[in-house]
């Protein structure tokens, strides 16, 4: 968890089918403050509205991916400020989880507290060897407030989630891979780009509209409605026709 006032900047770039949100700080330690989480929410809204993007990547520059929330800011919180801080974070990370694009956390260094919770809201997590990930809030007399208590059990199971949350102890990238908390571990920061390219190629055959529907079904558990709505998109007709004609489907976003 961070102990200094956040100077972190949040930047959005787009290249081809990929949108990248990058966290940068003069200190090399990226920290969530109220300002940072609000700016992140604004950029996520811009990504949601861009039908040309198929993938979204969250990255951190410097020594860490994201070190967590701004403890200096939270030091003066009362209950009402805590509720507002948690509500904002929940809204932003719920919007992240609901992005129509496929999202990745490219974790270059430690992902703690809010940094871990951001990664949990992504569809996939790729992590550099030796980095650590976890939810240390209980060691400060707090609990995860941006969805960690809900998303972590869904990914690693209730028993492991309790152990990680109650102890506040992070795990290494290698341990995180073993328990399913991350999807791939790469040897160096420089290897993240190649890993991401491999994942993009692997996921590219899926229909963008179908993936968006599948994400909604996973989030809201309404598979029947989302399946039915697939037939409102020309991609369903294209996919079925391509299968019958024994050719590759050509996806065109509408």
Phi, psi of 122, deg, nearest 5: -80, 160
Q: Catalytic residue at 226?
A: no
Smallest Cα–Cα separation from 122: which of 184, 170, 164, 61? Answer: 184
Cβ atoms < 10 Å from Cβ of 184: 17
Catalytic residue among 117, 212, 226, 235: 117
Catalytic residue among 137, 212, 226, 235: 137
Pairing of strands 18-24, 9-15: antiparallel
Q: Catalytic residue at 117?
A: yes
Residue 53 burial by Cβ neighbours in a 10 Å radius (0-12, 13-18, 19+): buried
Residue with tokens 């992504």: 122
Q: List, by residue number, the catalytic residues.
A: 117, 137
């Amino acid at each position: 968890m961070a102990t200094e006032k956040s100077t972190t900047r949040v930047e959005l770039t787009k290249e081809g089918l990929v949108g990248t949100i990058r966290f940068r700080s003069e200190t090399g330690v990226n920290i969530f403050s109220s300002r940072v989480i609000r700016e992140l929410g604004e950029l996520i809204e811009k990504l949601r509205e861009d039908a040309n993007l198929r993938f979204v990547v969250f990255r951190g520059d410097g020594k860490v991916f994201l070190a967590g929330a701004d403890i200096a800011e939270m030091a003066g919180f009362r209950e009402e400020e805590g509720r507002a801080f948690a509500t904002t974070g929940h809204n932003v990370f719920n919007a992240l989880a609901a992005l129509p694009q496929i999202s990745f956390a490219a974790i270059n260094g430690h992902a703690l507290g809010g940094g871990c919770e951001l990664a949990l809201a992504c569809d996939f997590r790729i992590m550099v060897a030796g980095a650590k990930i976890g939810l240390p809030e209980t060691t400060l007399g707090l609990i995860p407030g941006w969805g960690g208590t809900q998303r972590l059990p869904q990914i690693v199971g209730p028993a492991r989630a309790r152990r990680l949350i109650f102890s506040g102890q992070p795990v290494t990238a290698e341990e995180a891979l073993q328990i399913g908390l991350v999807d791939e571990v790469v040897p160096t920061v420089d290897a993240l780009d190649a890993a991401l390219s491999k994942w993009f190629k692997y996921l590219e055959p899926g229909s963008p509209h179908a993936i968006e529907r599948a994400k909604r079904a996973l989030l809201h558990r309404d598979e029947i409605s989302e399946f039915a709505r697939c037939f409102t998109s020309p991609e369903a007709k294209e996919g079925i026709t391509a299968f019958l004609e024994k050719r590759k489907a050509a996806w065109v976003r509408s």
